[in-house]
């Protein structure tokens, strides 16, 4: 039986006309979208949300944890409607509605988004990320340099391509506007976003060579990272030529006419579909146009292919997308919605926070929680005893890949046991009764399938991979890739020979040198099988005696957020290393914290209202050599520090010396 879907719609890509109505936003929503006033707090809350895994701090900011991001599967049913909402049918038998962000977010708690979510629907929010549409409420924020001269879209009056190839305009104008739109999407309650026009480089007759393939690739990756940082799922719109590179970063795909255009649908089979990610496709028919198929062609060969491949396909008799009849394929089976919290009145839709284990009754990790009593508080290397278990994520075993999927990100909870060892791996004890090992990325990834990372994962351990994100270490294999302007002149670290602070305050060096190197390191961490990363030296602004004022607090905050987004885009958990002064601003972006000497320096309390309150682990290391400042004795660690750590959930270790070589390590008895 043919399923008929009745409801409003919009949006297609050139060369066909989309008839988009001027949005009629309520005044308060318009001010919110423009950034002139704070968004209504009601719009940021998740109505009737009961997810126990969503922390109070996450809900207060309107964001979700990465583990709660919706991940639609192949075959997920949908309706695509971007205008004419007055006659919209909100009771279609579909999992998701794809609607206009600006129009859908109007009217606050009575917005279309809220109404759909209260009916248990997923909501994908459409906006253009590649063009300036002159009817949008934030259109006047685009500067002349941010749009391409003579870059008007031939079939869409009032719409002009953005110049993402202009790096200054990209950073100063385009990205801030898109971040505000993503904030609006999060605060309005969208589950996902569909940023349109993210393939300008393929439209050379309109973009005139201003956008390269590399520009587009970098921008699209950034969009995915920025969406994930706000707890939003994100779909890749068209851009078929870059599917291979972008599939790991996006959660689903949206395509128009992939069947009609020579069956470019096949390109999605070994990218999104093979990764278990939905592909939403819209076919059209309009007499005399190219790239169209008839109703009979759709219901015949096209649907046979779509159903077998798992593509979620719709067909319409026109390009208007304004509420006419739409057809879906007969025989298509929706796999069900089991990822994340819809946030409507149906409460919990079954997301257990990234647990991929074998039983549905345990949110814990079936592979890495070894628990047990602490049988040794001595110096044999960190037997840490019982803990609260390892929540979330896939241990991965010997497959070496814990997934590109953001939903698989490991989220350690307070009390997770650990061992921190950054050298002397020839004698490492891999059988400690701990959940996680924190080891060096470069050394840990050596020897391929026999690497230390793989050996630890084969024992059911989580692996945190350490690298420096804030300094150049002259012994690293990529050290010669750092340019002269990417390090701070006279910025050597006083106590670490061969290590120099990176100049993240130099925006040119940051974009052209530092970020590409860090992306390559994160790629290595992903490919090597790390569950998480610990990027070190993330507080250069707080070391002015060595960084000489080159790094501001704002520089550091922006860079740290970028690091977190880039890690999440690769399916990696990420820890905030030290930087206690910015913990409140950064807790929403990071999955756990790593600190040194918070007890000795009386800093631990800063984590109570941030990471610990958000149910995120805090790993701390105390030291002792000769009783210098910032050190505590073993006796004080066990008698004073450990009772405090146990009471708040900090995972504390103590070591004699700063070598972190696995020797002379003591853990709190019940930590």
- Predicted pLDDT at 664: 87
Torsion of CA 81, 83, 85, 89, to 10 degrees: -20
Q: What is the mean pLDDT of residues 394-423?
A: 68
- Predicted pLDDT at 408: 72
- Predicted pLDDT at 352: 31
Q: What is the mean pLDDT of residues 498-520?
A: 96
In angstroms, the CA 376 to CA 617 distance is 23
In angstroms, the CA 612 to CA 614 distance is 5
Q: What is the DSSP letter of 458?
A: H
Sign (positive or negative) of CA dihedral 270, 274, 277, 278: positive
In angstroms, the CA 396 to CA 138 distance is 44
- Which H or E element spans position 643? helix 642-648
642-652 pLDDT tens trace: 999 999 999 99
Query: In which band, very low, low, confident or very high, does the pLDDT at 19 lie, cut at 50, 70 and 90?
Result: very low
CB contact at 8 A, 456 and 407: no
Token reading at 447: 């020897």
% of the chain surpassing 90 pLDDT: 65
Query: In which band, very low, low, confident or very high, does the pLDDT at 339 lie, cut at 50, 70 and 90?
Result: low
Q: Whose CA is closest to 113, among 162, 42, 58?
A: 42
Sign (positive or negative) of CA dihedral 654, 659, 660, 663: negative
Pick from 61-65, 245-249, 373-377, 453-457: least confident: 373-377
In angstroms, the CA 196 to CA 280 distance is 14
DSSP 221-257: HHHHHHHHHTT-EEEEES-GGGHHHHTTT-SEEEEES
The bridge status of strand 233-237 relative to strand 147-152 is unpaired
Q: What is the mean pLDDT of residues 581-607?
A: 95
Q: Which residues contact 388 (CB under 8 A, 6 or more apart)?
A: 413, 414, 415, 416, 649
Phi-psi map region of 380: left, alpha, beta (phi>0 left; psi -120 to 50 alpha): alpha
Q: What is the mean pLDDT of residues 578-594?
A: 95
Neighbours of 123 (CB within 10 A): 29
In angstroms, the CA 246 to CA 659 distance is 40
Mean of the per-residue pLDDT values of the chain: 81
Q: Is the peptide bond before 15 cis (omega within 30 degrees of 0)?
A: yes
- Which H or E element spans position 596? strand 592-596
In angstroms, the CA 339 to CA 276 distance is 12
In angstroms, the CA 248 to CA 404 distance is 5
Query: In which band, very low, low, confident or very high, does the pLDDT at 193 lie, cut at 50, 70 and 90?
Result: very high
In angstroms, the CA 201 to CA 240 distance is 12
- Predicted pLDDT at 415: 95
- Predicted pLDDT at 66: 47
- Predicted pLDDT at 357: 31
Note the pTM of the prediction, 2 decimals.
Answer: 0.48
24-59 pLDDT tens trace: 333 333 333 333 333 333 333 323 222 223 333 333
Report the length, in residues, of the chain.
671
- Predicted pLDDT at 156: 84
- Predicted pLDDT at 77: 94
Q: What is the mean pLDDT of residues 467-493?
A: 96
Distances (CA, A) of 164 to 121, 174, 622: 34, 8, 46
Q: What is the mean pLDDT of residues 74-78?
A: 94
| 195 burial via Cβ count (<10 Å: 0-12, 13-18, 19+) | buried
Distances (CA, A) of 113 to 34, 118, 120, 272, 351: 19, 9, 11, 26, 21
- Predicted pLDDT at 321: 63
Residue 301 has phi, psi (to 5 degrees) of: -65, -40
- Predicted pLDDT at 627: 67
- Predicted pLDDT at 382: 38
- Predicted pLDDT at 323: 59
Q: Is the peptide bond before 490 cis (omega within 30 degrees of 0)?
A: no
CB contact at 8 A, 464 and 531: yes
112-150 pLDDT tens trace: 999 999 999 999 999 999 999 999 999 999 999 999 999
Pick from 56-70, 409-423, 441-455, 611-625: least confident: 56-70
Pick from 210-219, 277-286, 625-634: least confident: 625-634
Is it the case that residue 473 has pLDDT exceeding 90? yes
Is it the case that residue 601 has pLDDT exceeding 80? yes
- Predicted pLDDT at 336: 73
In angstroms, the CA 372 to CA 362 distance is 18
Q: Whose CA is closest to 516, among 351, 547, 508?
A: 508
Pick from 348-352, 440-444, 552-556, 654-658: least confident: 348-352
Is it the case that residue 599 has pLDDT exceeding 60? yes
Q: Whose CA is closest to 113, among 6, 29, 12, 227?
A: 29
Q: What is the mean pLDDT of residues 427-441?
A: 95
Is it the case that residue 492 has pLDDT exceeding 70? yes
Higher per-residue confidence, 388 vs 183 = 183
Is it the case that residue 658 has pLDDT exceeding 90? no
Residue 582 CA to its chain's centroid (Å): 20
Is it the case that residue 396 has pLDDT exceeding 70? no
CATH numbers and ranges of domains, the chain: 78-328 (3.20.20.70), 418-667 (3.20.20.70)
- Predicted pLDDT at 528: 96
Token reading at 539: 């507080």
The bridge status of strand 325-328 relative to strand 3-6 is antiparallel
In angstroms, the CA 564 to CA 105 distance is 28
The label of the residue with tokens 């993240």 reads 504
In angstroms, the CA 638 to CA 660 distance is 19
- Which H or E element spans position 187? helix 175-188
Query: In which band, very low, low, confident or very high, does the pLDDT at 338 lie, cut at 50, 70 and 90?
Result: low
Is it the case that residue 209 has pLDDT exceeding 50? yes
| 378 burial via Cβ count (<10 Å: 0-12, 13-18, 19+) | exposed
Q: What is the mean pLDDT of residues 352-366?
A: 32
Pick from 314-318, 370-374, 656-660: least confident: 370-374
Query: In which band, very low, low, confident or very high, does the pLDDT at 288 lie, cut at 50, 70 and 90?
Result: low
In angstroms, the CA 576 to CA 18 distance is 45
Q: What is the mean pLDDT of residues 602-606?
A: 94
- Predicted pLDDT at 261: 84
Neighbours of 337 (CB within 10 A): 22
- Predicted pLDDT at 330: 82
% of the chain surpassing 70 pLDDT: 78
């Amino acid at each position: 039986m043919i399923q008929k879907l009745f409801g409003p719609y919009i949006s297609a890509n050139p060369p066909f006309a989309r008839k988009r109505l001027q949005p009629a936003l309520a005044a308060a929503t318009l001010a919110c979208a423009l950034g002139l006033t704070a968004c209504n707090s009601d719009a940021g809350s998740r109505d009737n949300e009961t997810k126990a895994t969503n922390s109070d701090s996450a809900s207060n900011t309107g964001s979700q944890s990465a583990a709660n991001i919706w991940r639609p599967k192949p075959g997920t049913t949908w309706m695509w409607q971007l205008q004419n909402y007055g006659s919209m049918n909100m009771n279609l038998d579909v999992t998701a509605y794809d609607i206009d962000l600006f129009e859908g977010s109007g009217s606050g708690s009575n917005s279309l988004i809220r109404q759909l979510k209260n009916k248990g629907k997923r909501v994908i929010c459409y906006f253009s990320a590649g063009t300036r549409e002159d009817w949008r409420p934030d259109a006047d924020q685009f500067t002349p340099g941010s749009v391409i001269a003579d870059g008007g879209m031939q079939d869409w009056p009032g719409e002009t391509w953005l110049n993402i190839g202009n790096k200054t305009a990209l950073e100063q104008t385009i990205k801030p506007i898109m971040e505000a739109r993503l904030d609006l999407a999060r605060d309005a309650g969208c589950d996902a976003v569909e940023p349109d026009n993210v393939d300008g480089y393929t439209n050379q007759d309109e973009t005139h060579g201003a956008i390269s393939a590399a520009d587009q690739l970098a921008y699209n990756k950034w969009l995915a990272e920025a969406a994930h940082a706000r707890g939003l799922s994100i779909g890749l719109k068209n851009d078929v030529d870059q599917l291979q590179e972008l599939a790991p970063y996006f959660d689903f795909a949206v395509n128009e006419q992939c069947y009609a255009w020579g069956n470019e649908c096949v390109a999605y089979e070994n990218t999104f579909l093979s990764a278990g990610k939905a592909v939403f496709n819209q076919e059209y028919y309009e007499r005399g146009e190219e790239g169209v198929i008839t109703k009979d062609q759709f219901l015949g060969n096209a649907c046979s292919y779509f159903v077998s491949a798992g593509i979620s396909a719709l067909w319409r008799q026109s390009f208007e997308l304004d509420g006419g009849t739409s057809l879906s394929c007969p025989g298509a089976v929706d796999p069900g919605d089991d990822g994340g919290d819809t946030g409507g009145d149906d409460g919990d839709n079954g997301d257990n926070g990234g647990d991929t284990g074998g039983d549905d009754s345990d949110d814990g990790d079936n592979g890495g929680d070894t628990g047990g009593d602490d049988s040794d508080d001595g110096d044999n290397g960190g037997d840490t005893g019982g803990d609260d278990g390892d929540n979330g994520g896939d241990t991965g075993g010997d497959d070496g890949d814990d997934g590109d999927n953001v939903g698989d990100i490991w989220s350690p909870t307070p009390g997770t046991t650990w061992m921190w060892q950054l050298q002397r791996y020839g004698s490492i004890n891999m059988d400690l009764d701990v959940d996680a090992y924190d080891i060096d990325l470069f050394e840990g990834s050596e020897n391929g399938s026999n690497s230390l990372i793989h050996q630890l994962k084969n024992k059911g351990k989580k692996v945190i991979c350490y690298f420096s994100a804030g300094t150049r270490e002259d012994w690293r294999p990529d050290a010669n890739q750092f340019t002269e302007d990417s390090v701070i002149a006279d910025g050597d670290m006083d106590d670490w020979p061969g290590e120099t602070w990176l100049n993240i305050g130099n925006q040119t060096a940051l974009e052209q040198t530092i970020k590409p190197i860090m992306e390559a390191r994160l790629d290595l961490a992903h490919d090597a099988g790390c569950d998480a990363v610990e990027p070190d030296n993330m507080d250069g602004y707080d070391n002015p005696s060595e960084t000489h004022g080159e790094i501001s607090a704002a520089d550091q905050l922006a860079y740290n957020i970028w690091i977190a987004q880039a890690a999440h885009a690769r399916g990696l958990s990420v820890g905030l290393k030290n930087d206690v002064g910015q913990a409140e601003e950064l807790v929403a972006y990071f999955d756990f914290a790593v600190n040194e000497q918070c007890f000795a320096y009386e800093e631990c309390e800063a984590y109570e209202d941030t990471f610990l309150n958000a149910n995120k682990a805090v790993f701390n290391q105390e030291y002792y050599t000769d009783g210098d400042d910032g050190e505590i004795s073993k006796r004080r660690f066990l008698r004073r520090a450990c009772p405090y750590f146990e009471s708040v959930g900090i995972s504390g270790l103590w070591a004699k010396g700063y070598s972190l070589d696995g020797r002379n390590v003591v853990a709190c008895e019940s930590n």
